[in-house]
Structure 1
Amino acid sequence: MGDPPAEGRGRIPAPLFCLTAMFLVQLGIALSKPLFGPLGVSGTTFLRLGFAAVILLAATRPRLRGRRPRDLAAAGLLGMASAGMTLLFAGAIDRLPMGTAATIEFLGPLAVALVFARRASHLLWALLAAGGVALLTLLGEGGGGAGLDPVGLMYAFGAAACYAAYILFTDKVGAAFQGFQGLAVSMTVGALTLAPFGLGQAWDGLTAPGASPLVLLLSVAGVSLLLPVIPYALEMTALRRMPQRVFSVLVSLEPAVSALVGLVVLGQLLGAAQLAGIGCVVAASVGATLTGRR
């Protein structure tokens, strides 16, 4: 799996890679939820990353000999960040509405955007996105977040921290490795990281009385393409073509995408506060994209 031809890739706006990745992530999440029952959250997440690692290793055949230790370390840290983000977010959506979990997880990219802010306008877009997050989380969930599962909130905030690390290390790995070889290495590390948590749970689910292991494995393999194989590849491509700060604020669209998927797939209606919050994050994303073209 190499990079698309430079000429063809150049015609595609980098933000489109981000948007496509976000829709695929949310679709993958929605399709993963039915697997949490038979396989468990940890088991499903482990199998998803395991299939992703196998697919990417077979497609890229990464060469590790002669690599600088710091490049291998970055790929390993990206794998651990990806594992933590994937597992914690899966735990969050098992206990919280998708839109709420995605909004809290966005605090990770927002923190990166604030750290890398260099001009007043950059800080403005990050703060505008933060206002949208507040509207979606607080007013959009009944004011003050009452009734939200505290364990789910803990998972969501943990996923946010891992998301911030994921953005930082994806940028480094994308620059150090050709094509998606670094992604293959990181997915392998991620799967190995989750093995102690998910292997036993996955095995129990696959061997349970009345289970259909082939159907379950094929379902997980299909979902692994939607999350994480294709989205992570698209995000790595985007990070190679845009400033890290712009990417961090652009992914503030994720809560809006999650809310849209919730509306279409789950029939969740949007209130006025939620619409206002979505408007804020959309405006912040557009502003960051436009001011990022310097």
Structure 2
Amino acid sequence: MTTTRAPETPKTGRATGIALMAASPLSNQTGAAIGSLAFPVITPAGVVAVRQWIAAGVLLAITRPRWRSFTAAQWRLIAALAVVFAVINLALYSAVDRIGLGLAVTLEFLGPLTVALAGSRRRIDLGCALLAGAGVAVLMRPQPSTDYLGMGLALLAAVCWGCYILLNHRLGRSLPGAQGTATACGLSGLVYIPLGIAVLLAHPPTTTAVVCAVTAGVASSAVPFLFDALALRRVPAPLFAICMSLNPALAATTGLLILDQHLDPTQWLSIAAIVVANATTILTRR
């Protein structure tokens, strides 16, 4: 006897979408925190290599790109996006190793916020930009323990995230589905084969380190990609974007609970200011 699943009602579909939407950033930041536990053994570069390999395998298996149909112009966009993929995670994980998960993700989040505010002439967006800028100024204020290299790496990741949004937008209009993104991720994974092998040979991994790195690949790449795709079918894009704006706060909380990385009250307020600036920008747009 076979049974068929009852179709989702709008109400249950929205509830499922909200659950997936909340689980995605939580999985992403938890994976990043667990992956950072392997830094002392295989370095951030080793963790990033494993994460890139897993992400490439998952995305290519899901999308199955038709490479023979790609044009030269599309391949140029894909190559540019592959460079972004190769740099963004290495820059971010190196920053996490130096300044902690919460601060690194908060500074990285300036990438999408800048893209959202760029070109806007609304007064409220100017206010949001000033609020976010004040938060960044407080986070990067000179102190005896300030790690400017770590902050610079996080800002490099922010630039890459902004480029990722713009390139992905162009690829999405040029290629159906996520074929371009998956192909770029695959090319990035190929780049990391020699680098990853060299790092793992120089820093022999332990079983625990491998498990942490693989967990980062699954929780920070495969799970968010799947959950985001499913959530966007059930909830409006603005609601989804607001939930994504909570990533800095989730990163700081995850860093505290898993990595015992403590932030002072001023840093928490700065993170909150950046989150509020992003959420306000989204909420006030039509």
TM-score when normalising by structure 2: 0.79
Greater mean deviation of Cα atoms: 155-164 or 70-79: 70-79
Report matched runs for 1:1-294 at 5 Å: 11=14, 20-135=23-138, 137-138=139-140, 143-205=141-203, 208=204, 212=206, 217-232=210-225, 242=237, 247=241, 252-292=245-285, 294=286
Equivalent residue letter for 1:222: T
Instruction: State the alpha-carbon separation in 1 of the partners of residues 78 and 232 from structure 2.
Output: 15
Instruction: State the alpha-carbon separation in 2 of the partners of residues 203 and 237 from structure 1.
Output: 38
Number of positions where the alignment pairs a residue of Structure 1 with one of Structure 2: 276
Residue pair 1:171, 1:239 contacting (<8 A) in 2 also = no
Residue pair 1:41, 1:90 contacting (<8 A) in 2 also = yes
Residue pair 1:57, 1:184 contacting (<8 A) in 2 also = yes
> C-alpha displacement at 1:14, in angstroms?
8.6
Instruction: Write the deviation string for residues 236-264 of structure 1: whole angstroms up to 9, x where unpaired.
Output: 78899748xx95x8755332222111232
Residue pair 2:32, 2:220 contacting (<8 A) in 1 also = yes
> C-alpha displacement at 1:233, in angstroms?
5.4
Greater mean deviation of Cα atoms: 232-241 or 31-40: 232-241
User: Tell me, what secondary structure is at the counterpart of 2:68?
Assistant: coil
Instruction: State the alpha-carbon separation in 2 of the partners of residues 279 and 70 from structure 1.
Output: 41
Instruction: State the alpha-carbon separation in 2 of the partners of residues 119 and 217 from structure 1.
Output: 48
Instruction: State the alpha-carbon separation in 2 of the partners of residues 13 and 129 from structure 1.
Output: 32
Cα distance, 1:47–1:282 mapped onto 2, change above 3 Å: closer
Greater mean deviation of Cα atoms: 27-36 or 254-263: 254-263
Residue pair 2:245, 2:278 contacting (<8 A) in 1 also = yes
Equivalent residue letter for 2:185: M
Identity of aligned residues (%): 31
Cα distance, 1:27–1:15 mapped onto 2, change above 3 Å: same
> C-alpha displacement at 1:89, in angstroms?
0.8
> C-alpha displacement at 1:120, in angstroms?
2.4
> C-alpha displacement at 1:200, in angstroms?
0.7
The unaligned stretches of length 5 or more in structure 1 are none
User: Tell me, what secondary structure is at the counterpart of 2:283?
Assistant: helix
Instruction: State the alpha-carbon separation in 2 of the partners of residues 231 and 238 from structure 1.
Output: 10
Instruction: State the alpha-carbon separation in 1 of the partners of residues 8 and 143 from structure 2.
Output: 46
TM-score when normalising by structure 1: 0.77
